[in-house]
Structure 1
């Protein structure tokens, strides 16, 4: 056995998305960092070994996709990868290589793959000095010393061996009164899953299951117990087993049982199911996973213990450093061995059921304190092992959320080292710097805006070559000409709402395009309601500032006008949103617009006075008079980099050709050495919503930076072929200027140039 010793500032144990983002972030901020991963690839459950594609807040909330390091990775993967994303089972090794490339390209970052933690060394009761790791197939043992350790192992291996307090299973209802908690505490956890992938071969393909495969004979097991065949391509969430096995100690037993069930399920589909066997005749198994994806095991107790009430009530934390927005997704213990699958699956993923209403939450803030171990002074956690209840884990555990947590942990660790602070003191003594650093690195926080005193752009005045106005969203011309009705979700089965950005505090008229599917005149009640932001889903929290009844005659694709004559005196606020709601009438369809108007999304009432994103977050048809100047150049220095309480975007006039420019001007000359840009794109939908080789059309492709020097414009930087959302440019030499321009020469397809934020720094 070869024995080695290494020393680092930050040691990250675990190379899933949480650990990877933690390590990259710490290294980018100057900490000598090592990441230890027990598999041959990074990515954990998202890797090609497990193939669970990353989920997050954008699955339920428009414009809520996670940004920062996870965004860089996912944008890069889509730009490089030929493969479509069809839910789970479809990750390929291009994703693995995207992560590997970032690891190799990050200064200050070292890593050990195929390396497992075997023990933890402590210098005192409350301090870890090193971890001992063993490299598989290399007969090598490495003692890795560090100043700060981050447990991203999922199972909390480091925290457990260091003596930290942890929890397992479900808290009982009486402890925290959580709506999703069982009456009595339980040691049961959510289970592990494997995925499979099938391929259409274009001709009949037989399948014979081995004798040791589970033999499924009862159609009710699938059709009445919540185990639907969403796609013949594979990737079924519900191929899951936990109880009666322990998800850590019995992981190999679970893997074997999952394999037996997977082959038995495919045998049912191919050879027994009366309906599916015909559809599956040409399909062959292409891949069966053999590394189980794990949902739950140990949860390490930190400085704060987050309960279900926090995401449900959107608790505002002083140490908020990330956000989430997945629903409270708690799988049935036992999985395939339980009477039914997870509740959401058992309901067919219904959007208006009692369970769906109770479980829908966010976007909500996540505090740093759940990532700082209570019992060890130099230990942090990121991933599914953070300090939360079982119920809260249901929403926090998804990988895009844990990636944000990881980046926040890595950033916090680096700042603690720079300032010589104890980890326990970060939430009280350095939280502002942590938050501002995360924002500068492209992350988004619900309750924090850019207040960086070093950002010179904040003191500039901003102008542009042109500015788009919002007149509304017209209906697809092909639908109008064909006379066909659109998507079934256009029908007013429930209240539907459309967010409208108000620029000047005046709204004279709104119009909607609807179809009356009946033979008689219909009435629809309409309301205009002030809302706090685009995720303000409350139906009745704010009183309407205008109401009316729209009288709609039989017929298709009618534009119905409403003269609202609203002003600031009526409560209309410039620089804010209102929501135009049409209440339920199942005889009426409110049509979607032709394309998406940036920052203008829609929702429907799911029940109990709560709305949720409608369909995939399109823009419904509407017109406004006067047009709203919702895309001002000054938005690029307002400190917010996505639609939230307003559009927060500069967008050029769609009728004006490119190039278009945006200009910063100062009263005095500035010394500028670094310019940082945030562009639109890749935040409306989840990663799954984007095609192979995707480059978001809104994102500037070719652009240049120009400075006004010695009475003339001088180009200081040129970029071609861009598709990333967040770019940092260090100039070859510092410039002195009182005017700076970004000139956008081409986008990746959109007719408008657009920018969310510009930052300028001396160095």
Structure 2
């Protein structure tokens, strides 16, 4: 019997009344919300063996990052070198860039390739069931502290779902599940008095950051007229834009500052906000096309191609958890015992009202100047995030991830960006899966198995600033590791060439190389090898016509984000005499006592103090893990430009890319380079080898290759494959007489790879050979792990 006949029969039996189909299902974990936080939570838990149901109310995954809203994911790497988020979000972004033809810009450019990247991962993940176009409409409780199930309604399907579970996750952004379950939540801004937060207003307020929609325009090669409907907002005054921090950097796509919230409620007045944003967006396009004398010339050939109709929200309910994170935590880099993620965006609090307010977000209103009092106050990270802000305090089997976590309004300014919420989602999914495996409640994780959660996150490719990988099950930690060669670091100069093109990106090159006097203290991180450093040189230009003196210091630093310009141990100091001339190498000879203070296997920072008559040149390449910063004020430094390498030389060259680095427990430059890198001058095909005194039974091999860390996602072009990443590689096992190949991969683009062997091997050594990279003449590896059955 076909569906129509069944439907007609049901209509007649029920007197012509519509009948809604009801289904009941049960899973280990129910994740509500299909944005990046919910998506990463669901995938993480399913990969660890839990049965998971993911419910999303939109037709695509990704939330604000989807092609419906088109906000590209931001995170810590926007402000800090080598701080890009890894784990599931990295897998997705690497895959998307490798196959997408579209350039990524700030807003409005996301296409369906991103949607399908997420969809493909969801479909391909065992244990994961998902329902799109499905909204949670109710919560059923067992008592006051346990959720039994949620009710959800499928759009256009006349189907209601009753989905039960052991543990629930509210990743809805608005805290829909937590609110229905009776959880306490906060709304708006706390007063300055409550937590003494520098960014908090004097008086508490219900004001929230607003929502935005974006647009995209297309150059069609000929003049295109535009006539705005009568119901749009009419803009006339140029001062409303540039004078209030609303900048038109590019005309082909929309702007975050097309934002409205107050006086409307971002939950209950969503439809009103959508309409108002549409009126303003068309009015702004009308201003660009028809009113501004400069902009209308630039936009003459542009046609409006797309306008979003789903507002991207920034703030609504914040659910109270087992810990309330305040602004002091990211600003002071609080070290939490239950650290499960990290952030590094600045404390970015948009002006309530958006377009209806007197000015845009403060840093934009200042023209994004980097050394103002506001810039110093709001710059933070990278900092750790505790699991407790994801644990609802009022319901025992409920977690949160995303912008609805337990933070103050001021702290939300930094944790709300999507790459950070994705990390929180993966952490939540991991914690829940481990809690179920151990038969404990999620609230018990922080006391009973937080170490296991942290080690699992590290194994799955995540990074934690204050936790080092030390998995006792990892057989590689007991092996002796050797390699074909390792590249010595002797520095780089302004005329050094990047043979891979991996760090230099098109039209950014001129800005990156543009002249900039030494107006502020500037520092270059240098990795110290076992060799004693005898001298350092810097490449300087002095155009003043007279001899200049530059004060130099060597500073002991804890890691590459140790931005202290005061308070660190000073290892050596000198005055460098710079005669008039261009690109001169000025040498600093170190005494044996100064050299002895440097710790092998750690970083030092070479600082030059201000001397406006001198230029310290940027190197023409980037030495991996060798970043730079400058003093922004208040005794603090921040990333210098894109965090690349300044021109320096070190004598003797330092062996800081040795094979042993792959066992450091950290998979990026941090306290050290943590990278094995082969010597490109060596003609031997690069390989790494692990050997044990006795044979080991191995069934899983995991490798982390370099790439995709230095800069954030926005900086990578279409069809991008990172030159440092291994393209082709093989794994071979020693059988006593020779090498037997057990894995061969061609065309790899991912940095984190995992191989479960067809059958376990028993051997005392195996080898990874890098057959080709995507362009880098050197091969590299951050970490190797191997596990038994």
TM over 0.5: yes
Query: Among 602, 612, 616, which residue is 1:586 paired with?
Result: 612
Aligned partner of 1:359 in structure 2 is 378
Classify the secondary structure of the residue corresponding to 2:600.
Answer: coil
Q: Is the 8 A contact 2:54 2:131 kept in 1?
A: yes
Name the CA distance, whole Å, in 1 between partners of 2:576 and 2:94.
43
Classify the secondary structure of the residue corresponding to 2:167.
Answer: strand
Cα deviation, residue 189, structure 1: 0.3
Query: Among 118, 121, 128, which residue is 1:102 paired with?
Result: 121
Q: Is the 8 A contact 1:527 1:544 kept in 2?
A: yes
Residue by residue over 1:23-71, the C-alpha shift from the partner in whole angstroms, topping out at 9 and shown as x without a partner, is: 0001000000010000000000000000000000000000000000000
Classify the secondary structure of the residue corresponding to 2:282.
Answer: helix
Matched, 1:53 2:60: no
Matched, 1:677 2:696: no
Classify the secondary structure of the residue corresponding to 1:727.
Answer: strand
Name the CA distance, whole Å, in 2 between partners of 1:412 and 1:639.
20
Query: Among 612, 619, 623, which residue is 2:645 paired with?
Result: 619
Name the CA distance, whole Å, in 2 between partners of 1:384 and 1:671.
44
Report 1:558-573 matches (<5 A). Answer: 558-566=584-592, 570-573=596-599
Cα deviation, residue 569, structure 1: 6.3
299-308 or 266-275, larger mean C-alpha shift = 266-275
**Where does the alignment leave 5 or more consecutive residues of structure 2 unmatched?**
1-19, 499-509
Matched, 1:441 2:467: no
Aligned partner of 2:744 in structure 1 is 718
Aligned partner of 2:718 in structure 1 is 692
Matched, 1:256 2:275: yes
Structure-2 change in CA distance of 1:168 and 1:489 (3 Å)? farther
147-156 or 449-458, larger mean C-alpha shift = 449-458
Query: Among 410, 413, 436, which residue is 1:394 paired with?
Result: 413
Q: Is the 8 A contact 1:328 1:391 kept in 2?
A: yes
Aligned partner of 2:299 in structure 1 is 280
Name the CA distance, whole Å, in 2 between partners of 1:242 and 1:189.
7
Matched, 1:340 2:359: yes
Classify the secondary structure of the residue corresponding to 2:661.
Answer: helix
Q: Is the 8 A contact 2:531 2:654 kept in 1?
A: no
Aligned partner of 2:14 in structure 1 is none
Residue by residue over 1:216-274, the C-alpha shift from the partner in whole angstroms, topping out at 9 and shown as x without a partner, is: 11111012111111111122111000100000000111111111111111111111112
Cα deviation, residue 163, structure 1: 0.1
Classify the secondary structure of the residue corresponding to 2:109.
Answer: coil
Name the CA distance, whole Å, in 2 between partners of 1:478 and 1:328.
37
Name the CA distance, whole Å, in 1 between partners of 2:237 and 2:645.
44
Name the CA distance, whole Å, in 2 between partners of 1:652 and 1:150.
44
Aligned partner of 1:32 in structure 2 is 51
Matched, 1:91 2:117: no
Cα deviation, residue 489, structure 1: 5.9
Q: Is the 8 A contact 1:592 1:619 kept in 2?
A: yes
Matched, 1:68 2:87: yes
Cα deviation, residue 449, structure 1: 1.2
Aligned partner of 1:382 in structure 2 is 401
Name the CA distance, whole Å, in 1 between partners of 2:84 and 2:495.
27
Cα deviation, residue 522, structure 1: 1.7
Aligned partner of 1:515 in structure 2 is 541
493-502 or 17-26, larger mean C-alpha shift = 493-502
Name the CA distance, whole Å, in 2 between partners of 1:477 and 1:361.
32
Q: Is the 8 A contact 1:505 1:572 kept in 2?
A: no
Classify the secondary structure of the residue corresponding to 2:426.
Answer: helix
Q: Is the 8 A contact 1:658 1:745 kept in 2?
A: no
Name the CA distance, whole Å, in 2 between partners of 1:130 and 1:750.
52
Cα deviation, residue 486, structure 1: 7.2
Classify the secondary structure of the residue corresponding to 1:117.
Answer: strand
Aligned partner of 1:115 in structure 2 is 134
Query: Among 173, 186, 195, which residue is 1:154 paired with?
Result: 173
Q: Is the 8 A contact 1:344 1:356 kept in 2?
A: yes
Classify the secondary structure of the residue corresponding to 1:506.
Answer: coil
Matched, 1:267 2:301: no
Cα deviation, residue 568, structure 1: 7.0
Aligned partner of 2:677 in structure 1 is 651
Name the CA distance, whole Å, in 2 between partners of 1:269 and 1:485.
26
Q: Is the 8 A contact 1:505 1:568 kept in 2?
A: no
Cα deviation, residue 543, structure 1: 3.3
Aligned partner of 2:252 in structure 1 is 233
Cα deviation, residue 137, structure 1: 0.5
Name the CA distance, whole Å, in 1 between partners of 2:462 and 2:565.
29
Aligned partner of 1:247 in structure 2 is 266
Name the CA distance, whole Å, in 1 between partners of 2:581 and 2:652.
27
Name the CA distance, whole Å, in 2 between partners of 1:63 and 1:565.
32
Cα deviation, residue 202, structure 1: 2.1
Cα deviation, residue 505, structure 1: 5.7
Name the CA distance, whole Å, in 2 between partners of 1:266 and 1:569.
61
Name the CA distance, whole Å, in 1 between partners of 2:543 and 2:178.
62
Matched, 1:222 2:248: no
Q: Is the 8 A contact 1:490 1:592 kept in 2?
A: no
Cα deviation, residue 710, structure 1: 2.7
301-310 or 484-493, larger mean C-alpha shift = 484-493
Name the CA distance, whole Å, in 2 between partners of 1:567 and 1:598.
28
Residue by residue over 1:399-422, the C-alpha shift from the partner in whole angstroms, topping out at 9 and shown as x without a partner, is: 000000000000011111111111
Aligned partner of 1:553 in structure 2 is 579
Name the CA distance, whole Å, in 1 between partners of 2:246 and 2:543.
35
Query: Among 525, 529, 547, which residue is 2:555 paired with?
Result: 529
Name the CA distance, whole Å, in 1 between partners of 2:49 and 2:241.
52
Count of residues in Structure 1 that have an aligned counterpart in Structure 2 = 759
Name the CA distance, whole Å, in 2 between partners of 1:128 and 1:547.
63
Aligned partner of 1:202 in structure 2 is 221
Residue by residue over 1:607-632, the C-alpha shift from the partner in whole angstroms, topping out at 9 and shown as x without a partner, is: 11111001111111110001000001
Query: Among 328, 332, 342, which residue is 1:313 paired with?
Result: 332
Query: Among 378, 391, 410, which residue is 1:372 paired with?
Result: 391
Residue by residue over 1:136-192, the C-alpha shift from the partner in whole angstroms, topping out at 9 and shown as x without a partner, is: 011110101111000000000000000000000000010000000000110000000
Structure-2 change in CA distance of 1:50 and 1:657 (3 Å)? farther
Aligned partner of 1:296 in structure 2 is 315
Cα deviation, residue 566, structure 1: 4.8
Q: Is the 8 A contact 2:733 2:741 kept in 1?
A: yes
Q: Is the 8 A contact 1:18 1:152 kept in 2?
A: yes
Name the CA distance, whole Å, in 2 between partners of 1:511 and 1:553.
15
Aligned partner of 2:205 in structure 1 is 186
Name the CA distance, whole Å, in 1 between partners of 2:326 and 2:426.
22
Aligned partner of 1:739 in structure 2 is 765
Matched, 1:703 2:729: yes
TM-score where L is the length of structure 2: 0.95
Name the CA distance, whole Å, in 2 between partners of 1:258 and 1:554.
57
Query: Among 347, 358, 368, which residue is 1:349 paired with?
Result: 368
Name the CA distance, whole Å, in 2 between partners of 1:682 and 1:388.
29
Cα deviation, residue 564, structure 1: 1.9
Classify the secondary structure of the residue corresponding to 2:340.
Answer: strand
Aligned partner of 2:434 in structure 1 is 415
Name the CA distance, whole Å, in 1 between partners of 2:200 and 2:606.
37
Matched, 1:635 2:654: no
TM-score where L is the length of structure 1: 0.98
Classify the secondary structure of the residue corresponding to 2:247.
Answer: coil
Matched, 1:544 2:589: no
Name the CA distance, whole Å, in 2 between partners of 1:566 and 1:30.
56
Name the CA distance, whole Å, in 1 between partners of 2:514 and 2:761.
57
Cα deviation, residue 553, structure 1: 1.8
Cα deviation, residue 658, structure 1: 5.6
Residue by residue over 1:100-138, the C-alpha shift from the partner in whole angstroms, topping out at 9 and shown as x without a partner, is: 000000000000000000101111110001000000011
What RMSD over aligned residues (CA atoms) do the two structures have, in Å? 1.3
Q: Is the 8 A contact 1:658 1:752 kept in 2?
A: no
376-385 or 485-494, larger mean C-alpha shift = 485-494
Q: Is the 8 A contact 2:668 2:782 kept in 1?
A: yes
Classify the secondary structure of the residue corresponding to 2:288.
Answer: helix
